[in-house]
Structures are given as C-alpha cells and as structure tokens.
Amino acid sequence: MRDNPDQHGPEGHDDAPMTLLAVNQGYWLYEGEDLLNDLLYGRGLYPFRVKCLQFDSAFELNRYTKGGVSVANLWRINSDVIERLRRENLLIEIFPTDF
C-alpha cells in the first residue's frame, strides 16, 4: 500500500523476508519459500512484512527480470492471503516506478 512512503517506499522494505510477484491480478512467491507455511497458517515467525513487486503483464515482468523468471515455476498465493496481509498492513506493494 503506497499511502505511507516511509514504510512502503523502496527504502522501507529491507526487513521484509518474503517477496511476491503480482502479475495480471495473480500472486506468486518469488523469495522466502522457507516462510511459506508460516504465512499460510499464521504461525511460526508470522507476522512479518512481505514485499510485492507489481507488474501489469508478463511482458513487463520479463523485461524487469530479463526473462529469468517464469511464474509457471513459482508457488501461487491465494488472493485471500494477500487481502489478509493488506488488512494487517504487512503488504509492501512496490510498483515499477519504485524499482
């Protein structure tokens, strides 16, 4: 959420141990697979902040990663989990202009 640049801007996400990719209204786990169960079940090290790199299309993702990432090889994250992160103010949404 971009309402507080101090918390959600590019400088405010260094402590987020997990990174998601948002492409075409879908969400995929990019980094932090070791924390996936904690995120899904709300236990262990959860709550923790989660970065979410937002892309409008697979083309934009490929341009950013130089073709090095295919969402077909990543864990898909249910949109209900994303909404929970938003409600708990744990989701750091980062847009292409921010990186």
Taking only the tens place, the pLDDT of each residue in 22-59 is 998 899 999 999 999 999 999 999 999 999 999 999 99
Instruction: Assess contact for 26 and 76: CB atoms under 8 A.
Output: yes
Residue 8: per-residue pLDDT: 40
- Tally the C-alpha atoms within 13 A of residue 31's C-alpha that lie toward its C-beta: 9
Question: Whole-prediction pTM value?
Answer: 0.82
**How deeply is 27 buried, as exposed, middle or buried, from its count of CB atoms within 10 A (0-12, 13-18, 19+)?**
buried
Within 8 A by CB and 6+ apart from 79, the residues are 25, 27
